[in-house]
Structures are given as structure tokens and as C-alpha cells.
């Protein structure tokens, strides 16, 4: 009889399952074990380097070790009790394999690999000739099997159509298609409120583009790859009245502007160009990221970003209230969902002097580490864009949310102009806080960056978004669960606020 200690718990979806560590237990299931020739290896070409992983041949079919393959990405497989089935998650996609079966579940569909999944020395092996095609549809890179070289080739730079974002603005909708090179395109309209971009010479990353969530304005996003061209199609929730599209060489994106015919510019009586209505820095609004139904990122130990953000925010508020150098308001005091409008409204109604949004970071690479502070401005790199999209996701599904990821010529939003006034000051506040992180936290500094975070876009004051550490990194998740580390992070932010106050209140 196998004891409870011979299993370790891992995550499958939102439940928990057990990983079997004893290979002989699997081999007791003789119907699904495979005894064949000695294990060989195949090449995996990834990001300019070549790795080798286990393989074996069964006739003309080459099997490769998915267990070793996922480790190249710092990922893991999740095994059901007794190894009956195995889960593999790639972003929002979920594979489920059944040992001894050629059928694999991909999200809500069942696919046939033709050849069965096999177990060998405690590792999962899959047929390269058939499964790699499925893998290519779910990974952000292009993945191909080169049978003549016995190599899995992963090309991070293959695609020239890499992503799409949808931003709701007061005067309409802005859709941006990300390109790595300028491509000609044709925009056509079809029945069912579809707008279709045809791009000769395009190589579209279907896995990324089709994974993007629909917004309050876009019902569905599809991507198609043809032999010499690609197509990106967007199904709008309403018939478009007026729109145009152009390529922006500064951002490397195709920008589609869909105008709202009911838009009327509004003005604000909020004075801008100074910090606070009386040129003093007295009131801080702290915004704990996410909350309620929005968990944010989740670590390997099921640590939720929303909980860590709230705990650090409370520690920071406690320090501020103790010293009484500032007054402080939290946008949320408990685990609840707060909309973009409510967060911004709290800060604007209070006429706060500074707005600090607290978050923790996450990355598909488990090796990514460090702290980073952002201010609001168009993103300058793919990493900042990806992070902004992840943090913005909960807002983009709500009607009325506003994003500034790509300031096009048609953008007439008043608070865009306000943020231009505060951009330099916000960048300085970011640098001061990041410097305190570097001194105090004992983890790498990733510096200061800029991106179009929705949460910063509607507040009429200097504002920053703090990413304390990576919850996706095993060591940093452990730190984030430690009360002493959270206090260090709160203290570092507080020291940064005090330094900022001294600097700007002395300025003429």
C-alpha cells in the first residue's frame, strides 16, 4: 500500500492533485508502459542555443520527453493520482494527456495525436511528428519539428505580426496590431460587424492574438495564416459608423481608430502643472492592485497578487499614519473589486498629491526576478507592453475603461494632456522609489520603465505603479509571503515618498 507521503501536491486548474514520484508505481500499469531501445536524445533549438532532451523511436515515430521540454521554460507538468492523466498549461491554454491514449484535450476540444502518449522512466513522452503542430498553436513562438535533423525548432523572431490590443477611449476605440516590420495592409468590412486586415507577407502569431480577451467593444478576434499572407479579423459589438487605419512608424503598429459618434469633448476645472493645489505634498492615495474576483498573478504556492498588494499597502499606510507626515487614503481596505472609475474617482475627489499603485510582477520565465517602478507613458519595449496588458486586463472588459496604449492623432482625451504635464515628475518619483528598493530589498533592480497602465491614466496627479517582486519566481514568491520582506518594501516606498516631498517642496 502506498503511503500519503509518496505523493506531492501540485496545481491542476483551480483544484489540487498529486504527483507520483516513484517510477515503479507507474510501471505497474503495464498496459501503458513502454519497453524499447535505450534512450536517445534530440535537439531543441531555442533562443540561439541548442539543448538536448530525451527521446526514443517507435518504428518511424520519434517520441520526445515533454517532461524535459517544459523544464527548458521553467515550467512543470501536473500529474493526476496514479499518473492516469497529466496537465500542461501554456498561458490560457490547457493540455490534458492520457497515458496510453492518442487523444489529448486542448481546452474544450479533443484532438488526436494518432500515436499514444507514453511513459518512460517516470517521464511523459509524446510523438514529435504530430504533437509539435499542436504545440505551435499554443506557444507564443513558432514551433516546428524537423524530422531530417531530429530537432524541435523554436523561433522567437519568426512572426512579424505579434500581438493586438484594444483600448477604449472617450472618443471611440483604438485597436493596435503589433508588427516587427512595416507591412502593406488592406482593411475590409464584412457581414456580422467584422473588420478584416489582410497583410501580404504577414506571418501571424495566432496563439497570442487569439488568446487576447475581447473587450466591451470587440466581441471576437481571429487570426488566419495563409501561404503568402495573413489576416487579422475583429468582430465589433456594434456596427462601426466611422473608422480609419494607418501604420505608425514610431510605434511599429497598425492603428485602427473607430470613432464614437456621440463623443463630445469635456473640460476639467482641476488645476494642473503643480503638485497639489497648495504646492505642498500632503495627501497620498495608495491603490492596492486587483482585488475581489480579480486575483492578479498567482504564484506556484497559490499566492495571489491581490493579497500581497493589499498587505504591502496596509503596511505602507500604517507607516504614514504613524509619522503623520502625510495623510493617506487606500482605494480598498479589504478584498473587493474596485473599478477603474472608482479608483481614479477616489484620488481625484480627494485632490490627492500623489497616487501609488502597488502590484507584484509575473513572467512566463520562472527565472525573472527583481523590483521595478513604472510611470505612465507609451511603452518603449515589449516587456513593458506585455506587463501593461496583463495589469490592464481586468479593466478592458468593463465599459467606459480608458487606456492610453498608443496615443493616435485622433485621441482628444483631456486627461492625456494632463498626464503629459505630470510625466516628468512621475518619472522622477519612480526613480526615487526604485533607488530605495535597490538599497533595501536585497533583490535585483530592474530599474524604471514606462507603459500605458490604465490605472494611472485617469488620475490628475503624479502617479506610479510599483512592481515589488516576481510572484512567478520561487524565491521571490517566498519573500513576498514573508511579513518582514513586505515591511521592507513598504518602508522603501515610504522613504521614497519622504525624499520626494523634501525635494519638491524646496523647489521654487
Tens digit of each residue's pLDDT (9 = 90 or more) over 114-151: 999 999 888 899 999 999 988 888 887 788 999 888 99
Provide the 10 A C-beta neighbour count for residue 381: 11
Give me the pLDDT at residue 396, please: 43
Worst-scoring range by mean pLDDT, 178-182, 198-202, 385-389?
Answer: 385-389
Region 22-32: mean pLDDT is 41
Q: Which of 371, 369, 370, 343 is nearest to 357 (CA)?
A: 343
Give the separation between CA 329 and CA 351, rounded to whole angstroms.
11
pLDDT category of residue 7 using cuts at 50, 70 and 90 = very low
pLDDT category of residue 215 using cuts at 50, 70 and 90 = low
Give me the pLDDT at residue 356, please: 93
Q: Residues 111, 116, 121, 124: what is their CA dihedral angle, to the nearest 10 degrees?
A: -10
Give the separation between CA 219 and CA 213, rounded to whole angstroms.
9
Helix (H, G, I), strand (E, B) or coil at 250: coil
Quick one: how far is CA 39 from the chain centroid? 37
User: Is-contact 100 43, C-beta < 8 A?
Assistant: no
Tell whether the model's pLDDT for residue 343 goes beyond 50: yes
Q: What is the side-by-side order of every strand in the sheet holding 151-155?
A: 118-120, 123-127, 61-65, 49-58, 40-46, 151-155, 142-146
Tell whether the model's pLDDT for residue 207 goes beyond 70: yes
Give the separation between CA 388 and CA 176, rounded to whole angstroms.
14
Q: What is the DSSP string of 160-197?
A: SEEEEEEEEETTEEEEEEEESS----EEEEETTTEEEE
Give the separation between CA 357 and CA 367, rounded to whole angstroms.
24
Q: Checking DSSP bridges between strand 151-155 and strand 40-46, what pairing results, if any? A: parallel
Give me the pLDDT at residue 320, please: 94
Full 3-state SS string of 284-314: EEEEECCECCECCCECCCCCEHHHHHHHHHH
Tell whether the model's pLDDT for residue 38 goes beyond 50: no
Give the separation between CA 142 and CA 206, rounded to whole angstroms.
10
- 2 versus 221: the higher-pLDDT residue is 221
Helix (H, G, I), strand (E, B) or coil at 413: coil
Buried b (16+ CB within 10 A) or exposed e, 50-73: ebebbbbeeeeebbbbbbbbbeee
Average pLDDT, the chain: 78
Burial of 16 (0-12, 13-18, 19+ CB in 10 A): exposed
Provide the 10 A C-beta neighbour count for residue 128: 25
- How many helices (DSSP H) and strands (DSSP E) are in the chain? 11, 28
pLDDT category of residue 47 using cuts at 50, 70 and 90 = low
Q: Which of 379, 355, 381, 399 is nearest to 453 (CA)?
A: 379
Angle between helices 305-323 and 483-506 (to 10 degrees): 50
Cell of 147: 524530422
Helix (H, G, I), strand (E, B) or coil at 206: helix
Buried b (16+ CB within 10 A) or exposed e, 392-422: bebbbeeeebbbbbbbbeebebebbebbeeb
Give the separation between CA 210 and CA 227, rounded to whole angstroms.
19
> What domains are defined for the chain?
4-155 (3.30.457.10), 161-259 (2.60.40.3500), 283-506 (3.40.630.40)
Tell whether the model's pLDDT for residue 22 goes beyond 90: no
Worst-scoring range by mean pLDDT, 227-241, 296-310, 373-387?
Answer: 373-387
Give the separation between CA 241 and CA 258, rounded to whole angstroms.
8
The predicted-structure confidence for 249-277, as pLDDT tens digits, reads as follows 877 889 998 877 665 444 334 444 445 44
Give me the pLDDT at residue 214, please: 62
Question: Which residue in this structure is represented by grid cell 489582410?
Answer: 198
User: Is-contact 443 335, C-beta < 8 A?
Assistant: no
Cell of 104: 489529448
The predicted-structure confidence for 417-437, as pLDDT tens digits, reads as follows 344 567 778 888 989 999 999
How far apart, in Å, are the Cα atoms of 200 and each of 160, 185, 232, 253, 391? 11, 7, 12, 16, 33
| Cα 217-404-473 angle, rounded to 5 deg | 95
Q: Identify the top-confidence range among 84-93, 212-221, 466-475.
A: 466-475
Q: What is the DSSP string of 435-499?
A: HHHHHHS-S-EEEEEEE--HHHHT-SS-EEEEEEEETTSHHHHHHHT-HHHHHHHHHHHHHHHHH
Q: Which of 204, 217, 210 is nearest to 256 (CA)?
A: 217
Q: Which of 386, 382, 353, 354 is nearest to 453 (CA)?
A: 386
Cell of 250: 514610431
Region 477-499: mean pLDDT is 95
Amino acid at each position: 500500500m502506498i503511503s500519503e507521503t509518496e505523493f506531492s501536491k501540485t496545481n491542476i486548474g483551480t483544484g489540487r492533485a498529486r504527483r507520483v514520484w516513484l517510477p515503479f508505481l507507474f510501471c505497474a500499469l503495464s498496459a501503458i508502459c513502454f519497453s524499447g531501445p535505450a534512450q536517445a536524445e534530440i535537439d531543441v533549438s531555442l533562443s540561439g542555443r541548442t539543448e538536448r532532451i530525451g527521446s526514443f523511436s517507435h518504428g518511424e515515430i520519434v517520441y520526445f520527453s515533454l517532461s524535459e521540454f517544459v523544464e527548458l521554460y521553467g515550467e512543470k507538468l501536473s500529474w493526476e493520482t496514479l499518473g492516469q492523466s497529466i496537465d500542461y498549461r501554456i498561458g490560457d491554454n490547457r493540455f490534458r494527456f492520457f497515458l496510453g491514449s492518442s487523444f489529448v484535450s486542448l481546452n474544450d476540444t479533443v484532438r488526436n495525436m494518432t500515436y499514444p502518449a507514453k511513459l518512460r522512466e517516470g517521464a511523459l513522452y509524446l510523438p514529435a511528428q504530430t504533437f509539435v503542430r499542436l504545440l505551435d498553436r499554443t506557444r507564443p513562438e513558432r514551433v516546428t519539428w524537423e524530422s531530417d535533423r531530429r530537432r524541435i525548432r523554436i523561433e522567437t523572431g519568426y512572426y512579424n505580426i505579434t500581438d493586438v490590443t484594444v483600448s477604449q477611449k472617450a472618443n471611440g476605440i483604438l485597436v493596435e496590431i503589433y508588427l516587427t516590420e512595416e507591412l502593406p495592409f488592406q482593411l475590409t468590412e464584412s457581414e456580422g460587424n467584422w473588420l478584416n486586415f489582410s497583410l501580404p507577407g504577414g506571418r501571424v502569431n495566432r496563439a497570442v492574438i487569439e488568446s487576447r480577451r475581447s473587450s466591451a467593444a470587440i466581441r471576437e478576434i481571429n487570426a488566419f495564416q495563409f501561404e503568402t499572407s495573413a489576416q487579422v479579423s475583429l468582430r465589433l459589438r456594434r456596427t462601426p459608423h466611422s473608422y480609419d487605419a494607418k501604420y505608425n512608424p514610431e510605434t511599429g503598429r497598425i492603428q485602427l481608430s473607430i470613432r464614437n459618434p456621440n463623443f463630445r469633448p469635456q473640460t476639467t476645472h482641476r488645476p494642473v502643472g503643480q503638485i497639489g493645489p497648495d504646492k505642498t505634498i500632503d495627501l497620498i492615495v495608495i491603490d492596492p492592485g486587483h482585488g475581489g474576483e480579480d486575483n492578479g498573478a498567482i504564484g506556484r504556492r497559490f499566492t495571489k497578487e491581490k493579497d500581497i498588494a493589499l498587505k504591502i499597502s496596509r503596511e505602507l499606510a500604517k507607516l504614514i499614519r504613524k509619522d503623520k507626515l502625510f495623510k493617506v487614503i487606500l482605494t480598498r481596505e479589504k478584498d473587493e473589486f474596485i473599478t477603474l472609475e472608482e479608483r481614479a474617482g477616489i484620488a481625484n475627489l480627494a485632490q490627492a498629491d500623489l497616487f501609488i499603485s502597488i502590484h507584484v510582477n509575473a513572467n512566463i520565465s520562472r527565472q525573472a526576478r527583481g523590483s521595478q517602478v513604472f510611470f505612465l507613458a507609451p511603452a518603449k519595449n515589449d516587456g513593458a507592453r506585455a506587463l501593461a496588458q496583463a495589469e490592464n486586463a481586468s479593466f478592458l472588459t468593463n465599459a467606459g475603461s480608458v487606456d492610453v496604449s498608443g496615443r493616435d492623432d485622433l485621441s482628444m482625451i483631456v486627461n492625456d494632456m494632463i498626464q503629459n504635464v505630470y510625466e516628468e515628475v512621475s518619472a522622477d518619483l519612480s526613480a526615487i522609489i526604485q533607488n530605495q528598493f535597490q538599497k533595501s530589498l536585497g533583490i535585483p533592480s530592474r530599474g524604471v520603465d514606462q507603459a500605458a497602465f490604465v490605472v494611472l491614466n485617469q488620475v490628475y496627479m503624479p502617479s506610479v505603479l510599483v512592481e515589488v517582486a516576481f510572484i512567478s519566481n520561487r524565491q521571490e514568491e517566498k519573500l513576498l509571503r514573508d511579513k518582514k520582506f513586505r515591511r521592507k518594501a513598504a518602508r522603501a516606498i515610504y522613504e521614497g515618498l519622504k525624499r520626494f516631498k523634501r525635494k519638491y517642496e524646496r523647489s521654487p
